[in-house]
Amino acid sequence: MKVKPKDVSTIVILNKNKQGTKTIQIRTRHIAHFKYYAMGLVGMIALLVGSIFLMRYNIQEREHERQLLMAQIVNLKGQIPVELQKQAEHNSAQSYIQAIEGKLKNINDYLRKRGLKGFSTKAVGGDATADNEKMTDKEVYMAYNDYLTHVVNAVAFTPMGYPRVSSMTSSFGFRSDPFNSSHAEFHAGIDFRGHRGDAAHCTANGRVVSIGWMGGYGNCVRVAHANGYETLYGHLSRITVKEGQHLSVGDKVGEVGSTGRSTGNHLHYEVRKDGKPVNPVKFLTLNN
């Protein structure tokens, strides 16, 4: 729409040095309404400033109320008899102990579902026997701390559980030679039933110390663990780890096969302590 000349006003801007002028043309109705614009702007600023002051006032009021409440709490705590305070602390400690026992129960339920015997919590410090009633809360905490440290070490660093979940086909100790039944031989581990390609898993945190062909063991993996323990996985059809590799509980070390001195697909599993084979069955449970 074309603007009529009477609807437009010209504003002349003079330079300080009077060397020239500038003109701006704006609609006349804007000039007429300028005072309303100014009043609106001032109103908005006043509203903003008022809101800021109101917020500051509310914050100060809440801080004052908080200080009064804290003073009342301190006053009430001072009125509680010392014996009641001690009883409350004792009850809190017992609740903490019961929570620990609940967690241990959950761990045990988890392990039993996987064929492992759970941890015993008898006389650790949380039951109601006469001896434990004489223990201070600090002594009970220390007893549980030591026990839980044992649990963590047992679970993480001691060979424990099954390298594969299946039935055993041969046990630890002397047996008939599978290649010559008229002779006996010492079997240094236990054998687990399996099909070629089934996964074999590491039973504790550790480091791979050797891989490859190892005489009658065929393709074999040896893993060193804490406290002088070592595990061996033999007759593998395929090795899936490298020498020097660090492993965690449950990591795959290889696949079941029938390499070496073997009559069929199975996993040969050994646990050694300071280089000497020990019965792996002892490590299929926790309380040893």
pLDDT at 28: 63
Q: What is the Cα–Cα distance from 14 to 85, expressed in whole angstroms?
A: 84
Tokens of 76: 């009430």
pLDDT at 82: 58
pLDDT at 246: 95
pTM of the model: 0.52
- Divide the 288 residues of the chain into consecutive groups of 10 and give the mean pLDDT of each group: 58 63 66 71 84 79 71 62 58 67 66 58 53 64 71 70 82 80 83 93 92 95 92 96 92 94 93 92 69
What is the residue extent of each domain of the chain?
Answer: 5-32, 82-157, 168-284
CA distances from 193 to 17, 166, 173 (A): 105, 6, 18
Tokens of 54: 């109101």
Tell me phi and psi for residue 36, to 5 degrees: -70, -35
pLDDT at 220: 97
Expressed in angstroms, the distance from the first to the final Cα of the chain is 97
pLDDT at 239: 96
Query: Judging by DSSP bridges, how do beta strands 266-273 and 276-278 pair with one another?
Result: antiparallel
Query: How remote is the C-alpha of 21 from its chain's centroid?
Result: 76
pLDDT at 233: 97
pLDDT at 114: 46
CA distances from 170 to 117, 187, 205, 215, 267 (A): 21, 8, 26, 19, 10
Q: Which amino acid type is present at position 19? A: Q
* CA atoms within 13 A of residue 73's CA, in its CB half-sphere: 6
CATH class held by domain 168-284 = mainly beta
Tokens of 281: 């069955």
Which is nearest to 237 in space by CA: 259, 221, 210, 217?
Answer: 259
CA distances from 186 to 167, 171, 259 (A): 20, 10, 19
